Structures are given as structure tokens and as C-alpha cells.
Amino acid sequence: MGKPTGFMEYQRQTIKQRSAKTRVKDWQELHLPANERFLQEQGARCMECGVPYCHMGELYQGMALGCPINNLIPEWNDLVYQGQWREALKRLHLTNNFPEFTGRVCPAPCEGSCTVGLIGEPVTIKSIEAAIVDRGFAEGWIRPQLPKQRSGRSVAVVGSGPAGLACADELNKVGHQVTVYEREDRIGGLLMYGIPNMKLDKRYVQRRVDLLAAEGIQFVTNVEIGHDTATEELLGQHDAVVLCCGSTVPRDLPIPGREAKGIHFAMEYLRGNTRHLLDGELAEPPISAEKKDVVIIGGGDTGTDCVATAIRHGCRSVVQLEILPQPPQARTAANPWPQWPKVARSDYGQEEAAHLFGRDPRDYEMMSTEFMVDESGSVTGVKAVQVQWEQNKDGRYSPKPIAGTETAYDAQLVLLAMGFTGPEPQTAKSLDITWSMNGYGTSQTQVFVAGDMRRGQSLVVWAIDEGRRAAKACDAFLTGL
């Protein structure tokens, strides 16, 4: 194990971020690189406890605990402490195809289940993960690994998000010929066109895609399966198909004024901005927040990404409306360790908004009731009312407006960031398939499904897990083993 007394000697520290004042002026990543001594000390805090929960990835009382892909966390913490970085990288890649993504964007459920967290601050697991793989690339240890033998079987993976890429990687490693079809012009799914550059630099996504291509995976972009290419054609060309099309139907807000100009889904805004940054052709992003009052409806992570993007566009003000109550400051008795702690957090967007405008942009328990619209049909504001959550006879909670709390927010740009209701139905329809949460197969034996498309809107780490498991199921089908 690491240093037996490490958790008592060293305080938890996370990798430093650039100051809010500096970083809002550009689109570069938030984090600064960490030095080796810092990382070794943080690794030394891992006490290699008898029963580590950090890597379990199990559901307990309906809540996930630990790392969903069962990363061998105590092992690589120890190896980092010992200075054995290359060995740490090998252990990390055993369970995680893309640690450079999770090490940057994962909310780190592992840290919520860390045993040191029972009595103090958990080990800085996520930052160590990112440092191991970044070092692997910097040292040239990560090179294309071609399969020793090809199986002669071919698989189409539809969708190139983390689920599709993990699935393709696993199937390619065991020798199947894999083609990934993507309707966008770039590979990566939400890694490329959802999560903003400040959290995940697109060079890292492209670097991994280039590596996978060098290992033999074929990528076909600008092709929508079920539209540009018929699904029967796909089935005719491949021995199996794995659908990893994401959960992309956004939740709408059908209140009066919804049709006004200036109201957009968060993904239209974020996607357009990333394309603008990558292409460098347009002088302005397709939707700009410059000099506008911005209201973002939805207090979650996508909303936070919109806050940070609007700030970089030079918005005049930004508010984030959340219908749910503010979470508690500390764990409640109903949310014990080692569950993921459901507590109040401030993310990078809120920190930046507080720096620029002097307040956290989130207003909690606010229900939007109407969009205000001018004569030209453009949005001018959002009317909202404070709610309180009351339990019905059947035990379910619902929001009840509080009389006299009606308020109006100025807005020339409104972004809807209220999550996603599920996958677009047409791809499944064109293949005439249905599936359940019981496994990765579908009603057609040669078709599999994984990622957000199967489990609903989730996290990158869960998508990687899904892709790996669907690959196993698909490989068993192809080889009969």
C-alpha cells in the first residue's frame, strides 16, 4: 500500500484551477498542471482500506456508489506514490478506455465513497487519474496496439460518443473489424459537441480518435443511419450492429410565449459555439449571448456549461432558474456514506458568475410561468414564481406556487437546460427493435444497444461502462463463446 500514515500527514488538495478572472477571457481548460510531488502526496493519502468502496460501482438503496467502471483505484494510487507511473497507466487502462475524459469531466462518485472521506476529506482520485494518462501520452507510452489476429467478423457501431467509442475499442481489441458511423462532422458525441472546451479540450478527444483509427477502427462521419444509410443496408454489410445514439430529445417548456425568437435548447447553443471555435470560419457563434441578459432554465450541469459559455460571450447578466430546492450543505441521514453525497455544490460556471456579477446565478424553487415577448416576436423576459414542494396523498412531491412571489427576469436570450427525455425514436423504429434494461441485446439478435440511448441521460463514465458491456455481449454473439 501507499504510505500507511499518509492520510494523517497530508491534507487533501485538488489540482489548482486558473482564477475565474483570467479564465473567463478564453476557452482554454480550467485546470493547471500538477507537479509530481503533489500527486505522490495525494496518492499517499490512499489508505488501501480493507474493504474499499471507491471502485465498487454498485447500486445501494437505489444510489450508485463508487466507480462505475471499477477502476483499480487503490492500486494506482499506490503506484503513483511509489513513482511507478507506467505500471499505474497499465492498471488504469485495464478498466478505463478513456481516462483522459473521465479524469477531466467525471463528477467522481469514487470520491464520495472513499473511506478517508468518512473521517475527513477523500483522496483526490480523479486528478490522479488524469495525471496518470496525461503522463502516459506525454512520455509516448500510449501507442497504437493492433490486434494480433482479425476474426473476419464485422461490426457497425452507430454513434461516436463515449459509449460508441468504448464499444468500438473493445470489439477492435478482440479482432473484429469495426466501423463507427456518426451523423456529425466530427467524432466524439457529447465529448466533442456537448461538454465545453473549458472542461475538455477537443484536442484530447481528437487525439484518442486518431489513436483508435491507427488501431484499425474506421470512422464514417456525416452519415445518419436510418436516414442517409438504410438500416437494412447496414445489417447487410455487417455481422452485428451496436446502437449508441445517445439520449438526445431535449425536455421542452411549453408555457405561453415559447415560440418567441431568442429561446433555444441548451444543446443548440453549446454545439453551435463549439463548432464555431473549432471551425474558426464564422466571426460569431450562431447564437451569441454578447451584451444580452441571459436566463437559463435548469440548474444542473448543462445549465452550468451555458452559464460559463454566456460569460465568455460577454453577456450583460446571467440567471439560472432551478425548480428544485437547494440541496443541503452536508449529507443528511437519508444519504449516508458511501453513497454519492447529494449536497450543495458550486461549479466553475457559478464561481465565474459570482466573480463577475457578485452572486451565485442560481435561483432555487423558481417555476417559469411565461415568456415575455415584444411586438417583433422576440423574447424580452421570463415570468416566474416561487414554489414549495408538497407531498400528495400518494406520497409524491409536486411544486405548489406561493402567492405573491411572482417575479420577472429580463432576458433577450433564454436557454432551456432541463435534461433529455430519451433517444430519438427513428433509428430504433427503422430497425424495428425494442429493448429492455435487462442486458444489452434487443429484439433482433444481431442488434445491441448501449449508453445514454439504453439507460437514459447519464455520465461519461456510465457510457464507457455501457459500451464495454455491450461489446462483451456482441462479442459473445459473434464468437458463440
Q: Specify the residue, 109 or 250, whose C-beta has the smaller distance to ligand SF4.
A: 109
Which residues from 194-233 bind ligand FAD, rule CB under 6 A? Answer: 194-195, 199, 224-226
Query: How many residues of this chain interact with ligand SF4, rule: CB under 6 A?
Result: 13
Residues 6+ apart with CB under 8 A from 314: 289, 290, 291
CB of 39 to ligand SF4, least distance (A): 15
Residue type, 471: A
**Helix, strand, coil: what percent of the chain each, to 5?**
35, 20, 45
**Could you tell which of ligand FAD, ligand SF4, none binds residue 109, using a CB distance below 5 to 8 A set by kind?**
ligand SF4
Q: Specify the residue, 199 or 238, whose C-beta has the smaller distance to ligand SF4.
A: 199
Is residue 189 near ligand FAD by the rule CB under 6 A?
Answer: yes
Is residue 381 near ligand FAD by the rule CB under 6 A?
Answer: no
Out of 88, 198, 217, 270, the residue judged to bind ligand FAD by CB under 6 A: 270
Is residue 248 near ligand SF4 by the rule CB under 6 A?
Answer: no
Closest CA to 226 of 396, 377, 447, 6: 447
Measured in whole angstroms, the distance separating CA 337 from the mean position of its chain's CA atoms is 23
Out of 29, 75, 78, 129, the residue judged to bind ligand SF4 by CB under 6 A: 129
Is residue 272 near ligand FAD by the rule CB under 6 A?
Answer: no
**Angle in degrees, 0-180, between the axes of helices 301-313 and 266-279, rounded to the nearest 10:** 50
- The 36-75 contact track toward ligand SF4, x by CB under 6 A, reads -------------------------------x-x-x-x--
**Burial of 472: CB neighbours in 10 Å, binned 0-12, 13-18, 19+:** middle
Is residue 463 near ligand FAD by the rule CB under 6 A?
Answer: yes
CB of 29 to ligand FAD, least distance (A): 12
Is residue 160 near ligand FAD by the rule CB under 6 A?
Answer: yes
- Options 104-112, 181-189, 313-321, 372-380: segment touching ligand SF4 (CB under 6 A): 104-112
Q: Are 92 and 144 in contact (CB under 8 A)?
A: no
CB of 98 to ligand SF4, least distance (A): 9
Beta bridge partners of 318: 294
Closest CA to 362 of 303, 448, 402: 303
Measured in whole angstroms, the distance separating CA 44 from the mean position of its chain's CA atoms is 28
| CA angle (467, 468, 474) in 5-degree steps | 85
Helix (H, G, I), strand (E, B) or coil at 314: coil
Give me the residue label for grid cell 460518443.
161
Give me the residue label for grid cell 459570482.
354
Q: Specify the residue, 30 or 125, whose C-beta has the smaller distance to ligand SF4.
A: 125
Is residue 124 near ligand FAD by the rule CB under 6 A?
Answer: no
**Site residues, ligand FAD (CB under 6 A):** 105-106, 158-164, 181-184, 189-190, 194-195, 199, 224-226, 244-246, 270, 301-302, 305, 427, 451-453, 458-461, 463
